[in-house]
Amino acid sequence: MASPGDVGDGGSSPPAAPYEVLDDLLVVRERAVMLQNMLQGTPSSCAAASTRQLNQLIDGVVSRLQSSTLSMMSPGGGRRGSGGRRTKSTGVDEGGPHRRSSSGRRRSKRPFVRMVTTKELEDGKQWRKYGQKHIQDSPNPRSYYRCTHKPDQGCMATKQVQTSEFNPSEFVIRYYGEHTCRDPSTIPFIVQGEAPMADYANLISFGSGAVASTSKDPLHSRRLLMAEAVDPTPSCSFAHCRSPLSTECASEEAQLSSSLPLAAVVRSAGTTPSTSIVGSAPADYRRPAGVAGGDMAGGMGSFPSSPSSLGFMTGSLGSFGNLPGDDDDMFGFDP
């Protein structure tokens, strides 16, 4: 059996080119939102936005669109397309200080779930940082996190956190893979509302507070509102979402997006308000995930598996099981 790290590319399965394109489109969308905010924001914020920043945003949008569209139109398909996997000669005996077997070194192809821009560093999930890298053309390093429960539960969810290039007070967080770990304290519940259930088919709220018997999480006030955010228009436009997220807003958000791929709105009651959805996942990956966790966000661990990891926070988890038709092999994890 393949090890968890090996999966994801599923041997001869086709490359995940659509996700690459999606990724680009999400970036484009994020930048479009930023542009929109700059242009529609208060006069002072407009003034604050330098011409250079605007140019950078526009350049980014254009380049992303070019790469995506070209990759889609090219005969080869996606960026990963043409050659298939290359094998690297590993016959050489390195004898270095620490050499590792080539297995498990494969770059992950866990499906992109979504991207959020937020000031919040907490997302109700437990993450462990496993790397940091300076990214070219970006002034800020990118931090790599994986689910704390990867070792014990094989959860393959990962996220990448990077300080926003355009707003240092915000973080751009990309989520990959699904949380397959199970935390009894964070059983998701379906939001009840006035609207017909059908309208909530894609609206799920996570909140440990909903499960009284297991609510050890101090972050009870947190809520993750899962909503569909299909539309190409910037969800909720964020003009008013920059203020504490209101119920109306969430509702709006849900309705606005009631037929689109999954996205998430982070709600952080009483704390930092601004979180914007800048990404959405294809319906095939309609799964919840944590949001905006950050470097050592406060919180209390509730897992026996890591008693001392108080630097992490526990919260909702989104193990929803795979939808029929999902490609389980995408995760390569078999609990």
Partner DNA sequence: TCTATTTGACCTAT
Partner DNA sequence: ATAGGTCAAATAGA
Q: Which residues bind DNA (CB under 7 A)?
A: 5, 9, 15, 20, 78-81, 83, 85-86, 88, 90, 94, 96-102, 104-108, 110, 128-133, 135-137, 142-144, 146, 148, 158, 160, 176, 295-296, 306-309, 311-312
**Please, what sign has the CA dihedral across residues 331, 261, 315, 276?**
positive
CB of 141 to DNA, least distance (A): 9
Nearer to DNA, 109 or 267 (CB): 109
> Residue 81 class from Cβ within 10 Å (0-12 exposed, 13-18 middle, 19+ buried)?
middle
Helix 51-73 and helix 17-40, axial crossing angle in degrees, nearest 10: 150
User: What are the start-end ranges of the H helices in the chain?
Assistant: 17-40, 43-48, 51-73, 150-153, 247-256
Nearer to DNA, 137 or 194 (CB): 137
CB of 279 to DNA, least distance (A): 14
Nearer to DNA, 96 or 196 (CB): 96
CB of 196 to DNA, least distance (A): 40
Nearer to DNA, 152 or 199 (CB): 152
Nearest Cα neighbor of 288 from 319, 257, 250, 313 is 319
Return the DSSP state at 269. T
CB of 230 to DNA, least distance (A): 25
Whether the Cβ atoms of residue 207 and residue 191 lie closer than 8 Å to each other: no
Nearer to DNA, 117 or 143 (CB): 143
Reported residue count of the chain is 335
CB of 87 to DNA, least distance (A): 7
Nearer to DNA, 52 or 86 (CB): 86
CB of 288 to DNA, least distance (A): 20
275-277: strand order across its sheet: 127-134, 141-147, 158-163, 171-176, 112-118, 275-277
Determine how many CB atoms are found less than 10 A away from the CB of residue 156.
Answer: 25
